[in-house]
Amino acid sequence: MEMVKVTVDGQNVEVPKDSTILDAAKKVGINIPTLCYHEDLNVKAMCRLCVVEVVGARTLQAACSQPVSAGMKIITNSPAVRQARKMNLELLLSNHPDDCLNCVRNQRCELQSLADQLGIGEQRFGSLTKPNYPKDESTAALVRDPDKCILCRRCVEVCHEVQSVGAIAPANRGINTQILPAGGVDLGDVSCVQCGQCALVCPVGAIYEQDHTERVWSALADPEKHVVVQTAPAIRVSIGEEFGLEPGQVTTGKLVAALRRLGFDRVFDTDFTADLTIIEEGHELLERLSSGGTLPMITSCSPGWIKYIEHFYPEYLAHLSTCKSPQQMFGAVAKTYYAEKTGLDPKDIYVVSIMPCTAKKFECGRPEMDAAGYPDVDAALTTRELGKMLRQAGIDFKALPEEEYDDPFGITTGAGVIFGASGGVMEAALRTVYEVVTKETLPSLDFTAVRGIEGIKEAEVDLKGTKVKVAVANGLGNAKKMMDLIKEGKADYQFIEIMCCPGGCIGGGGQPIPTTNAIRQKRIDAIYQADAGLPLRKSHENPAVKTLYEEFLGQPLGEKSHHLLHTHYTKREKYPEATA
C-alpha cells in the first residue's frame, strides 16, 4: 500500500494514499466535527462543518472529502476555520426548531452536541426561514418530522443504497428542499418497509419510532392487566449502550432485573419462541424437501423483510416459511397455553415486546396476528424506548444485580440467542435439522460459514447423503440480489435466511444510536459469546419446548401449531421509487 506523509497541526503523520484529511486527523488524535458524514455511508460534503485550512489552497477544504497528498500541510483549528464552522452551524440552526426539550433526541442529538462543542448558546440569526411542515405519522412504526430535517441525506442513502427500497428522496429546490416520498405523499402511502434504518442514521430527530412507552406505562398501572414482557435476543448485547456501557457487553441478568423493577408481572425470553420457531421451521423445511414443496424456503422472522417481499417480489410469497416470527409466536402462546396454565383470561394478558426493530411495531398490528382472538402482541418497544423508560423510572442499570428469567418461557438455548445475528437463524436450524434427520450428534455446533455481516454467504450441509445448500443475506440490498438470483433461476439453494437490517437484528432500526458496522460486529461477537456459555445450544433440546408440545401443541406442523404459530402473507402494491 502506497503511503504519503502529511502534517496535521504541526504533527507529522503517514497515511495510505487514498486517505482523506479526516482520516489523517484521526490518526493523530484530532476529531474534526462532522454532521452529514457517517462512517458506513458515502461521503457527501454538504454540511461544511468539517472544513480545514490546507496551506497553499485558496479556500477552506472539507476534511471528509478532500484526499491527502504528499507534503500537504493541514490546519484544523485556525481562527478562519473556527469562524466558518460556527457560521455554517448557525445557519443550520436558523432553519431548525428550537424546542430541544420536546425532541426525542434531546441530549442525544448530533446537532445539539456540535452547538455545544462550537460554543453556540443562542441562535444569532433568529429564525430566518423557519418551516412549518406537518409531521408524517402515517406508518405504524415511524414518524417523520420535516421541520427538524437538516437535509444531510443520510436517510436517503441508506434507504436507496443499503436497503434498495427508495421510499424517500430530496424534492424541490433551495429553501423549499425536503426529503419526501415520491409525489410528496405520506410514508404510509409508499413501499416503505418501516425498517427504521433511516432513523438509525439520522443525526437529529427528523425520523424516529412511534412511541409505545405511554401505552406500556398505562398497562403497568392497570390492576386488571397481567403484563408480561419478552426480550429479543439482540437486546441483551445492546441495552447497556443506553447507559454508557461499551458495545458488545452481555447484560442479560441486568436486563431481567431492570424489567422487574419497572413492574412487569413476568419477564420472559423471546429466545424460547426462537427455539419454537426452529422446531416448526425445521420440520417445514424437511416436509418441503420430502414432498416436493416450494423451494428454496426462505425464513420469515424479519417483519421488514416480509413487507419488502410483499411489495417488491409478491410472486415469490410461496417461498416464505409460514412460521410467524418468534415475537408473534410468543404472544400467541402467552394468550393460549400460558393463559390456560395460569387460569388467566386472555383479554387480561398484556404482552409487551422489547425489540431491536421498528418494524416489529408494524408486525404486531397486522390483522392476521390474533391467534387467541386478541392481538398476539399489544406493544413493541425498541431498545431505545426501553432505555427511555428505565431513565424515567430512575433505575441505575449498571448497579443492578443479575437475575434470571421466569419459567416456563425463560428456559432457552444458545440456538435461540444467535437469532439476533445474521446467519443465526440458519445456524440454529442446521443444528436441529441435522440431528433430526441423521439421528447423530453434530461433531461441531458452530456453522461459521454462515456468520458475519458480509453480503451473501453460502454453505452446504450433508444430511446423511442428502446435500442441502443454504444461503444467508442481511440488509435488503443483499436480499434484492438474492431474489433476483431466484428470479433468474440461478439460486440453487434449498434454504435461505434473509434479515432486513445490516448485520441482522443486532443492527435493527430500534437499536441504540450510534449503530455502525464496527458496533454491529461487537454485538455479533457478544451474541456468539452468550451462545457458547449456555448449557443447552440446540433448540430441540429445550425441555420447556418439549413440554409445550406434550401438554398443548401436540406435534410440529400439527393442527394447533398451524393455527397458533403459522400465518399467511399479503401481496402489496409497489409504489414508484422516490428520486431527486
Residues classed as catalytic: 281, 284, 301, 321, 360, 363, 368, 505
CB 570 within 8 A of CB 362: no
Cα separation, 415 vs 540, whole angstroms? 9
Cα separation, 548 vs 555, whole angstroms? 10
Question: Dihedral sign, CA of 307, 313, 317, 323?
Answer: negative
SS (HEC) of 87-133: HHHHHHHHCCCCCHHHCCCCCCCHHHHHHHHCCCCCCCCCCCCCCCC
Beta 379-382 vs 349-355: how paired, if at all?
parallel
Nearest to 540 by CA among 521, 555, 560, 520: 555
In this structure, what are the phi and psi dihedrals at residue 324, rounded to the nearest 5 degrees? -65, 165
Cα separation, 96 vs 94, whole angstroms? 6
What is the amino acid identity at position 462?
D
Cα separation, 191 vs 181, whole angstroms? 9
What is the amino acid identity at position 170?
P
CB 471 within 8 A of CB 499: no
Looking at the chain, how many residues does it have?
580
Cα separation, 427 vs 450, whole angstroms? 7
Burial code of 390-401, b = ≥16 C-beta within 10 A, e = fewer? beeeebebeebe
Q: How far apart, in Å, do the first and last CA atoms of the chain sit?
A: 37
Cis amide leading into 314 (omega within 30)? no
The counts of H helices and E strands in the chain are 19, 17
Nearest to 425 by CA among 399, 404, 401, 451: 451
Distant-in-sequence, close-in-space partners of 137: CB < 8 Å, separation ≥ 6: 143, 210
From start to end of 375-486, where are the E strands?
379-382, 456-463, 466-474
Nearest to 5 by CA among 39, 37, 33, 28: 28
- Which residues is 472 bridged to in the sheet? 457, 497
